């Protein structure tokens, strides 16, 4: 049976105290609603509807690349009213999965189980047993232990408040039944809202089977209405991710001080020190060392790589046995080949550093291709920008670039060439020769170093 998904994302989020819509607040660098969209990706939904309200234009702009049909809820009159706005667009032959944009930890596995266990003419309900159900809707069962209705906290009796089985708000139901039930909803309750929960009682009256599922983890159903609750979700998500990472055979110095903001695949016997951020898609080979305060974003790292503290690498490939940092920055479209070294306070941008080559300290290499076993002296820069366009520098195998050299691109340095320290190279340097560019050194007799003028007012104060 084809599946439609409805995500409710119209809440005001007043407790967030923010200009940003609640569902766009982030967990692990990704908005809450995008986590939900990620969870349904493998369900292959035929249609996805997002019900928006407060600051809805911001939500639409943020999710412009998703195949979403947007439905506005102009008045916030409850969850039943929100789903009612989608009725004109639903295919009556579809099953409908109802979710929330501020419940980002929900898993594909839990949702898949709920959908698969809900038949064509059945109602699927996700519930959970919790120690403290305060503030949550309770699942009321009959004498045969069958679900008969859901009662909200504000409408519950003292006896009903003692129930520990709670409603998660996540349902799977046929579009046909929704079309019959939603127009019958009443707002005769203390909040004067149209509760979606009332469809459970309608199903009971219609003798429709109610199938109950439970989440894989109770933490999956937690939502965030405040920044404190958002921080709690972040902590849970990070714990899950680091446990997954350690199961791959990775040692993490302090599991509470690593941020994983994407997908990480690692081989065994890697070591990750404190305060490391892994963002986007990160692949780590075997026996890698990742030092403290390192940031890796969309990076492929080979085997036996050392990345020393306070280095930042983005959209780059680091091959086997390379050594990076400390305090190195490798920018997008860079390739650091096997056994190469990028040392402290070195910036690499859109360049290839060849096998065994060394850029050990205090250098900028941009738009350059280095061959193998090139040695770049301290303070060397490739002057790749002429004010309008970028140009490439080519440094061939076994070249030696002396300290404090400026290579004015476009320029080519031949194999085994040596560039004298302090040179400004504006033309190609031939292979196997020494090339340098310096003015003659001279000393000036009688020259005196400038001294500061005395502050007369200061002298008066001192007197």
Active site residues: 361
DSSP string, 17-86: -SSS-GGGSEETTEEHHHHHHHHHGGGT-SEEEEEE-TTHHHHHHHTTTS--EEEE-SS---HHHHHHTT
Enumerate the β-bridge partners of residue 152.
none
Q: What CA–CA distance (Å, rounded) separates 370 from 375? A: 9
The distance in angstroms from the start CA to the end CA of the chain is 96
Distance, C-alpha 413 to centroid of its chain: 41
Return phi, psi of residue 222, to 5°: -75, 135
Structure tokens at 8: 């409710």
Q: Three-class SS of residue 276?
A: strand
Q: What CA–CA distance (Å, rounded) separates 195 from 186? A: 8
C-alpha distance from residue 281 to each of 224, 247, 284 (Å): 26, 18, 10
Q: What CA–CA distance (Å, rounded) separates 419 from 425? A: 8
**E strands present in 61-220:** 69-72, 95-100, 123-129, 138-141, 147-151, 165-174, 210-213
Q: Three-class SS of residue 135?
A: coil
Q: What CA–CA distance (Å, rounded) separates 452 from 448? A: 13
Distance, C-alpha 52 to centroid of its chain: 23
Q: Three-class SS of residue 461?
A: helix
**Please, are residues 292 and 273 in contact by the beta-carbon 8 Å criterion?**
yes
Q: Which residues of 11-45 are buried (b: 16+ CB within 10 A; e: fewer)?
A: bebeebeeeebbbbbebbeebbbbbbbebbeebeb
Q: What CA–CA distance (Å, rounded) separates 180 from 202? A: 10
Selection from 187, 39, 175 nearest residue 96 by Cα: 175
C-alpha distance from residue 51 to each of 45, 98, 278, 391 (Å): 16, 11, 32, 50
> Tokens 């902590």 sit at which residue?
235
């Amino acid at each position: 049976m084809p599946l439609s998904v409805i995500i409710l994302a119209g809440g005001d989020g007043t407790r967030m105290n923010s200009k940003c819509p609640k569902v766009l607040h982030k967990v692990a660098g990704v908005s809450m609603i995008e986590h939900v969209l990620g969870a349904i990706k493998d369900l292959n939904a035929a249609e996805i509807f997002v019900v928006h309200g407060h600051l809805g234009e911001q939500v639409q702009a943020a999710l412009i690349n998703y195949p979403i049909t947007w439905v506005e809820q102009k008045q916030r009159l409850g969850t039943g009213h929100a789903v009612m706005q989608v009725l004109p667009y639903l295919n009556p032959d579809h099953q409908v999965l109802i979710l929330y944009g501020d419940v980002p930890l929900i898993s594909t596995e839990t949702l898949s189980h709920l959908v698969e266990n809900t038949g064509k003419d059945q109602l699927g309900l996700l519930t959970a047993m919790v120690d403290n159900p305060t503030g949550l809707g309770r699942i009321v069962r009959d004498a045969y232990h069958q679900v008969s209705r859901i009662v909200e906290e504000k409408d519950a009796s003292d006896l009903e408040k003692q129930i520990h089985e709670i409603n998660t708000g996540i349902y799977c139901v046929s579009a046909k039944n929704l079309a019959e039930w939603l127009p019958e909803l009443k707002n005769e309750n203390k909040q004067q809202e149209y509760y979606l929960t009332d469809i459970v009682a309608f199903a009971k009256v219609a003798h429709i089977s109610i199938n109950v599922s439970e989440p894989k983890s109770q933490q999956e159903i937690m939502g965030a209405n405040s920044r404190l609750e958002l921080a709690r979700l972040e902590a849970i998500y990070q714990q899950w991710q680091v446990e997954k990472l350690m199961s791959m055979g990775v040692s993490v110095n302090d599991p509470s001080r690593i941020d994983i903001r994407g997908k990480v695949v690692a081989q065994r016997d890697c070591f990750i020190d404190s305060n490391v951020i892994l963002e986007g898609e990160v692949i780590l080979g075997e026996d890698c060392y990742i030092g403290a305060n390192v940031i890796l974003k969309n990076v492929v790292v080979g085997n036996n790589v050392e990345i020393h503290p306070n280095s930042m690498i983005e959209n780059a490939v680091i091959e086997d046995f390379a050594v990076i940092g400390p305090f190195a920055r490798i920018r997008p479209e860079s390739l650091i080949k096997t056994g190469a070294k990028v040392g402290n306070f070195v910036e690499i941008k859109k360049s290839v550093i060849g096998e065994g080559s060394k850029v050990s300290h205090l250098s900028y290499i941009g738009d350059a291709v280095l061959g193998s076993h090139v040695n770049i002296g301290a303070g060397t820069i490739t002057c790749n920008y002429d004010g309008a366009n970028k140009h490439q520098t080519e440094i061939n195998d076994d070249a030696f670039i002396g300290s404090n050299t400026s290579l004015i691109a476009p320029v080519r340095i031949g194999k085994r060439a040596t560039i004298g320290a302090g040179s400004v190279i504006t033309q190609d340097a031939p292979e196997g020769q020494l090339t340098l560019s310096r003015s003659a050194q001279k000393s000036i007799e009688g020259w005196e170093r400038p001294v500061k003028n005395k502050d007369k007012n200061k002298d008066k104060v001192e007197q």
